């Protein structure tokens, strides 16, 4: 099975605990066994987002535990392209790992825990630094939807400012307070930009969050191209955005199946 490493390769990285911190003290109970198909989808989402230039060596994608909404699943600290099924860990909404076993965990996991807490309808979260989006996080020009696959951007794309919460920081969501502030900036939207850092995309499921993350990056490129032409730019109307979203949620399975097949065939 390509998704599972041999026992030899599974050997934990001993003596290493958390990026920039010690092993978490709290040991929450597990939400229970998870269907292997969901784990496979989460592994696929990691690789799909690498294939599309959304994730590089950094960034992460998570899914809410299907049986316990107070738990979520996220890889141990690892470049997304390398993530396999046995790298997936379970966390509570305070972002404490259920069973750390010495594994290194992502410093910015609070992004996921605090958004899952604040947004009960959200079941999948992507944090990325995809390059074309960054300019819109530092510019006064707002990101707006330019074409009929980015209707989800029509409600607006807020920008999270670290300085408003923590003053001069390292601009990493390294604690629950910053995670809560980020979730507050996101509010009820599907995307929030993080000034000079990256962005977060949320959705009700993994196929939709992958699609939104991929097309947020593409929208950024196209908006920049349209602005560069020099004339006026016509963006989608919010009503067009709502109508597009009604179609996309039922058709996203088509690209998802293709992306997943390609991503999982590699290893
Ligand atoms: Zn980051």
Question: Residue with structure tokens 């349209």?
Answer: 226
CA dihedral 156, 161, 162, 163 (to 10 degrees): -160
DSSP string, 3-62: TS--HHHH---TT--BTTB---S--PPP-----HHHHHHHHHHHHHHHHTTS-SSS-EEE
Which pLDDT score, from 0 to 100, does residue 27 have?
Answer: 86
Ligand 1 midpoint to CA 219 (Å): 20
How far is the centre of ligand 1, averaged over its atoms, from the C-alpha of 76 (Å)?
A: 15
Looking only at the bridges linking them, the beta strands covering 71-75 and 88-92 are: antiparallel
CB contact at 8 A, 13 and 104:
yes
Per-residue model confidence (pLDDT) at position 110: 98
Is 257 catalytic? The answer is no
Listed residues: CB within 5 A of ion ligand 1: 198
Distance, CA 196 to ligand 1 centroid (Å)? 10
Q: pLDDT at position 14, please?
A: 34
User: 195, exposed or middle or buried, with CB in 10 Å at 0-12, 13-18, 19+?
Assistant: middle
For the chain, residues with pLDDT lower than 50 are 1-16, 20
Catalytic residue among 90, 108, 114, 217: 108
Does the global pTM surpass 0.85? yes
């Amino acid at each position: 099975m390509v998704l599972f490493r041999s026992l030899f390769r599974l050997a934990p990285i001993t003596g290493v605990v958390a990026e920039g911190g010690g092993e978490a003290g709290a040991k929450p109970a597990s939400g229970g066994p998870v269907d292997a198909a969901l784990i496979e989808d989460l592994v696929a989402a990691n690789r799909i987002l690498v294939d599309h230039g959304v994730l590089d060596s950094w960034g992460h994608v998570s899914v809410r535990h299907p049986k316990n909404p107070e738990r979520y699943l996220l890889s141990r600290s690892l470049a997304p392209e390398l993530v396999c099924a046995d790298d997936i860990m379970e966390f509570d909404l305070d972002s404490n790992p259920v069973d750390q076993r010495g594994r290194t965990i992502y410093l910015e996991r609070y992004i996921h825990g605090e958004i899952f807490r604040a947004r009960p309808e959200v079941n999948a979260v992507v944090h990325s630094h995809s390059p074309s989006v960054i300019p819109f996080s530092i510019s006064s020009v707002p990101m707006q939807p330019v074409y009929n696959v980015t209707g989800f951007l029509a409600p607006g794309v807020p920008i999270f400012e670290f300085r408003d919460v923590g003053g001069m920081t390292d601009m990493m969501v390294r604690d629950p307070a910053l995670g809560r502030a980020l979730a507050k900036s996101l509010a009820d939207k599907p995307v929030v930009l993080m000034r000079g850092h990256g962005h977060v995309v949320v959705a009700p499921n993994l196929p939709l969050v992958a699609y939104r993350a991929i097309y947020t990056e593409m929208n950024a490129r196209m908006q920049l191209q349209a602005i560069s032409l020099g004339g006026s730019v016509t963006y989608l109307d919010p009503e067009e955005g709502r109508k597009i979203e009604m179609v996309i949620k039922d058709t996203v399975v088509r690209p998802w199946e293709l992306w997943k097949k390609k991503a999982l065939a590699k290893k």
